[in-house]
A = this chain, B = another copy of it.
Amino acid sequence: MKAVVLAAGLGRRLKLDLPKPLLKVAGKEILYRNLCILSDLGVKEFVVVASSEEIGNFLTKHGFRHKVIWNNSPEKGNGYSLYLAENHIDGDFILIMGDHVYERAFIERAVRGKGLIGDRIAKFININEATKVVCANGWVVKVGKGLEKYDYIDTGLFILTPEIFRHAKAVIAEKDRAELSEIIERAKLPVTEVSGFFWMDIDTPEDLRRARREIIRTSVKLGDGLVARAINRRISTRISERIVDHVTPNQITFFTFLLGILSVFLVLINKPLAGILYQLSSIIDGVDGEIARASMKASELGGWLDSILDRYVDFLFLLALALSIAPRMIVWMIVALAIFGSLMVSYSTERYKAAFSEDIYKLSLMKLLVGKRDERIFLIMLFCLFGWIFELFVLLAVITNLRVILTMGIVWRYKKINSYL
The answer for the CA separation of A350 and B344 in the assembled complex, in Å, is: 12
Min CB gap A272→B, angstroms: 5
The answer for the CA separation of A168 and B251 in the assembled complex, in Å, is: 70
Determine the chain B residues whose CB is within 8 A of the CB of A372 once the complex forms: 223-226, 228
The answer for the CA separation of A351 and B321 in the assembled complex, in Å, is: 28
The answer for the CA separation of A324 and B393 in the assembled complex, in Å, is: 13
- Does B339 contact A275, Cβ atoms closer than 8 Å? no
Given contacts A343-B343, A344-B343, A381-B275, contact A374 B227 (CB under 8 A): yes
Q: Which of B223, B307, B315, B374 is in CB contact (< 8 Å) with A339?
A: B315
The answer for the CA separation of A352 and B376 in the assembled complex, in Å, is: 24
- Does B311 contact A343, Cβ atoms closer than 8 Å? yes
Q: List which A379-408 residues lie within 8 A (CB) of chain B.
A: 380-385, 387, 389-390, 392-393, 396
Min CB gap A235→B, angstroms: 12
The answer for the CA separation of A354 and B357 in the assembled complex, in Å, is: 7
Chain B residue at minimal CB-CB distance from A342: B314
Given contacts A381-B275, A390-B325, contact A225 B346 (CB under 8 A): no
Chain B residue at minimal CB-CB distance from A346: B311
Chain B residue at minimal CB-CB distance from A226: B375
**A18 sits at the interface (CB 8 A):** no
**A150 sits at the interface (CB 8 A):** no
Given contacts A340-B343, A374-B227, A385-B272, contact A335 B350 (CB under 8 A): no
The stretch among A3-11, A32-40, A184-192, A276-284 that forms the contact with chain B is A276-284
Determine the chain B residues whose CB is within 8 A of the CB of A322 once the complex forms: 335, 339, 393
The answer for the CA separation of A338 and B278 in the assembled complex, in Å, is: 17
The stretch among A85-93, A120-128, A326-334 that forms the contact with chain B is A326-334
- Does B343 contact A377, Cβ atoms closer than 8 Å? no
Determine the chain B residues whose CB is within 8 A of the CB of A374 once the complex forms: 224-228, 232, 282
Number of this chain's copies in the complex: 2
Given contacts A225-B374, A232-B374, A346-B347, contact A325 B314 (CB under 8 A): no
Determine the chain B residues whose CB is within 8 A of the CB of A343 once the complex forms: 311, 314-315, 340, 343-344, 347
Q: Which of B225, B340, B347, B367 is in CB contact (< 8 Å) with A350?
A: B347
**A353 sits at the interface (CB 8 A):** yes
The answer for the CA separation of A372 and B226 in the assembled complex, in Å, is: 8
Q: Mark A238-281, 1 if CB is under 8 A from B, else 0.
A: 00000000000000000000000000000000011011101100
Top 10 nearest A-B pairs (CB, nearest first) are: A275-B384, A225-B372, A353-B354, A275-B381, A223-B361, A228-B374, A354-B354, A279-B381, A227-B374, A227-B378
Name 29 interchain pairs, CB-CB below 8 A, sorted by A: A223-B372, A225-B370, A225-B372, A225-B375, A227-B378, A232-B374, A271-B387, A271-B389, A275-B383, A275-B385, A279-B378, A282-B373, A282-B377, A310-B373, A311-B346, A315-B342, A317-B380, A318-B338, A318-B339, A318-B342, A321-B393, A326-B332, A332-B332, A339-B339, A339-B340, A346-B347, A347-B347, A350-B354, A354-B354
